Amino acid sequence: MEESGSDPISHALSEESLDPANWEAMCSLGHRMVDDMIAYLRFVRDRPVWRRVPEDVKEHLRRPLPLDPQLPEEIYEDFLNYILPYPLGNIHPRFWGWVIGTGTPLGMFAELLAAGMNPNLAGANHVANYVERQVVDWCKEMLGYPRRASGLLVSGCSMANLVGLTVARNKMAGFNVRKDGLQGNRERIIFYTSAEAHTSVQKAVELLGLGSNSLRRVPVDEEFRIDLDALDTAISRDREEGHRPACVIGNAGTINTGAIDDLDGLADLCKEEGLWLHVDGAFGALAALSPELRPLVCGLERADSLAFDLHKWMYMPIEIGCALVRNERYHREAFSLIEGYLAHEERGLAGGAPWFHEYGPELTRGFRALKAWMSIREHGIKKYGRLIRQNVEQAGYLAGLVDEAAELERLAPVPLNIVCFRFVVDPKELDPDAINREIFHRLCEEGIAVPSYTTISGNYCLRVANTNHRSRREDFELLVQQVIRIGKDIIDGQEGKTEKT
């Protein structure tokens, strides 16, 4: 007897899908998830910011590849037990590590709705593309960027930098890079940025085939802003040596200290020298939403391309960033590649221009626009402006607490929302870098707060980057108290040790 599985008719009778056999059960599971996640957000302040992933959880996450179905209810139980309790911590009011946003409840639901519709925003004529176009238009308007500019939403500012710098390279190369590539023996294309630029800028330059030696890291002044004279000199020197200066990358909010380059000065210089100006405004560009802070980033709107994030200082769920390009034609020329199966039609589903895949390297693109469209409407741009200003004022408050505390010292100015400081020890007796590194570890391991760290002028320090809409002044007071307490504990412990030996 043949097995029934090989009978074509029984195949037809047993056609499967991935939809639930029991829709009611899936629906009540979904309701539980919603209730649980709302409580998770609502009571986040009561939990430790971070905790170690325990061994049994790591063990659980090494289980073999599932070959047969498991019950959604059981999978969700495992999520509750093994995954949900061990987050990065960035939704917590005392998380200020790196630059990571906090998310919101409605943003979370928007992700649910977007995944439910599950459209592809490569192109074609469907409503999601109109939502993204509106969000991109809103982005231009809120930053004062020209209306005729083109743009698209991307995963984050790394990708937005790559998009902007690709357009810059192709426009400024002086030959057809898309066709001829960079293999020829030509003059060297040079990009410029400050010593404080983000790693994503260098990665983009590397990915573009220019090589990191073609990215000049120009020195900064005492406020960590690019030195315009040094930039000017570097450009002249490169021209004299027969290279091809092409693009300057300005910083609106550097990763280390939040420094903002003189963007108007950069725009003037680029105009004079005939160079492309790209601005990495990952979080700092959003200072433009606050009328009080806006002057800090003036000149931003003159950039040829602009990259920023909505998941950092607009607090939207990760991932969402935006790339804007002043000249739509240059933008499209850098990425558009249409063959028969992607051809646009005048009408119907294949109508509707532009198609977003013509503005970036990705074809299939998710509906990240929806969380932006819903969030911006929920809060309004004025409230975002107030929150950004609140974060800057909190950073100023923390800087004041640091300056008042004899045990602490600040290592950099605080032009925006980032504070770099450390616990002071006598370097003749103890290693300040090691002590402060230990303070960082204990703050996290005790679940108190998560700053991050960096080195300023060769000194390791704690670094608080505030893009957190949940933080309150008392959170910064607690941070300062605890840094001092832990610092003293460490020193007492070390003295104990030296006495014993």
Binding of ligand PLP at residue 282 (CB under 6 A)? yes
Helices within 405-456 (DSSP H only)? 432-445
**105-117 and 369-404 helices, crossing angle to 10°:** 150
Residue span binding ligand PLP (CB under 6 A) among the ranges 280-288, 345-353, 452-460, 487-495: 280-288
Counting every residue written for the chain, the total comes to: 501
Q: Which of 111, 309, 358, 438 binds ligand PLP (CB under 6 A)?
A: 309
Q: Which of 128, 135, 143, 157 binds ligand PLP (CB under 6 A)?
A: 157
3-class secondary structure, 103:
coil
Report the residue closest to ligand PLP, judged by CB.
Answer: 156
Pairing verdict, β 452-456 and 459-465? antiparallel
Q: Distance between CA atoms of 71 and 160, rounded to whole angstroms?
A: 40
3-class secondary structure, 384:
helix
Tokens representing residue 258 in the block: 């939040």
408 within 8 A of 421, measured Cβ to Cβ: yes
Q: Distance between CA atoms of 476 and 395, rounded to whole angstroms?
A: 9
Binding of ligand PLP at residue 302 (CB under 6 A)? no
Q: Distance between CA atoms of 88 and 285, rounded to whole angstroms?
A: 25
Which residues, 220 to 259, sit near ligand PLP by CB under 6 A? Answer: 253, 255
Q: Distance between CA atoms of 467 and 476, rounded to whole angstroms?
A: 13
State in angstroms the smallest separation of the CB of 281 from ligand PLP: 8
Binding of ligand PLP at residue 417 (CB under 6 A)? no
Nearest residue (CB) to ligand PLP, 253 versus 352: 253
Binding of ligand PLP at residue 200 (CB under 6 A)? yes
Q: Which of 95, 191, 283, 440 binds ligand PLP (CB under 6 A)?
A: 283
State in angstroms the smallest separation of the CB of 348 from ligand PLP: 36
State in angstroms the smallest separation of the CB of 282 from ligand PLP: 3
Q: Which of 92, 94, 169, 198 binds ligand PLP (CB under 6 A)?
A: 198
Give how far Cα 56 sits from Cα of 79, 135, 176, Å: 14, 43, 56
Nearest residue (CB) to ligand PLP, 99 versus 226: 99
Which residues, 84 to 103, sit near ligand PLP by CB under 6 A? Answer: 99
Question: Which of 68, 278, 76 lies closest to 194, judged by CA?
Answer: 278
Binding of ligand PLP at residue 423 (CB under 6 A)? no
Nearest residue (CB) to ligand PLP, 197 versus 490: 197
Residues binding ligand PLP (CB under 6 A): 99, 156-158, 198, 200, 253, 255, 280, 282-283, 309, 321
